[in-house]
């Protein structure tokens, strides 16, 4: 199989964040994930296949709105069939926790490590691994674990 180009990886990264921002249908998100060998580590827990991603994503689009993901840093290291991708993305969003009278605006710089490879069935770049390594609060936002606890 042909190695991925930097352009294909960059397209995947931008497509992923755009789809998160517009709350794309879950099927559109699943098309960006490897069919086998997937591992995703989020503050909410670790997922090992596409079916485990479904309920997590549905929870996200019910909880977070007015999302903006702004890519701050992207580096790619080819490693055979899989490329290692390091990302820092600024994530801004609103969240509403009933019965609060208003939503809250939150912001984090999120450091991530991805594994990316060419899908043998779709022929395009897909994620094989996704790890949230750190979430740095910005502009007075609380630590993210406090947000999850509410």
105 contacts: CB under 8 Å, gap ≥ 6:
92, 93, 94
Tell me what pLDDT residue 32 has: 98
Tell me what pLDDT residue 50 has: 94
Cα–Cα nearest to 51, from 68, 72, 67, 34: 34
Q: Which residues of the chain have pLDDT under 70?
A: 1
Measured distance CA(122)–CA(84) in Å, rounded: 20
Tell me what pLDDT residue 142 has: 95
pTM of the model: 0.94
Question: What does the block give as tokens for 94?
Answer: 């609103």
Tell me what pLDDT residue 78 has: 82
18 contacts: CB under 8 Å, gap ≥ 6:
24, 69
Fold assignment, 6-149: Nuclear Transport Factor 2; Chain: A, (3.10.450)
**Tens digit of pLDDT for each residue in 2-39?**
888 999 999 999 999 999 999 999 999 999 999 999 99
Tell me what pLDDT residue 113 has: 98
Residue 43, φ and ψ in degrees, nearest 5:
-55, -25
Tell me what pLDDT residue 123 has: 92
Domain ranges for the chain: 6-149
């Amino acid at each position: 199989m042909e190695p991925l180009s930097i352009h294909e990886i960059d397209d995947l990264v931008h497509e992923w964040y755009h789809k998160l921002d517009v709350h794309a249908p879950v099927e559109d998100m699943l098309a960006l994930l490897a069919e086998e060998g997937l591992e995703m580590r989020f503050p909410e827990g670790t997922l090992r296949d596409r079916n485990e991603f479904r309920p997590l994503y549905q929870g996200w689009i019910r909880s977070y709105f007015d999302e903006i993901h702004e890519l701050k840093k992207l580096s790619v290291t080819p490693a055979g069939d899989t490329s290692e991708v390091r990302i820092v993305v600024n994530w801004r969003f609103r969240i509403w926790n009933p019965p609060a009278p208003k939503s809250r605006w939150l912001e984090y710089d999120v450091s991530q490590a991805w594994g990316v490879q060419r899908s043998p069935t779709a022929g395009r770049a897909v994620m094989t691994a996704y790890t949230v390594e750190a979430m740095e609060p910005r502009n007075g936002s609380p630590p993210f674990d406090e947000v999850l606890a509410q």
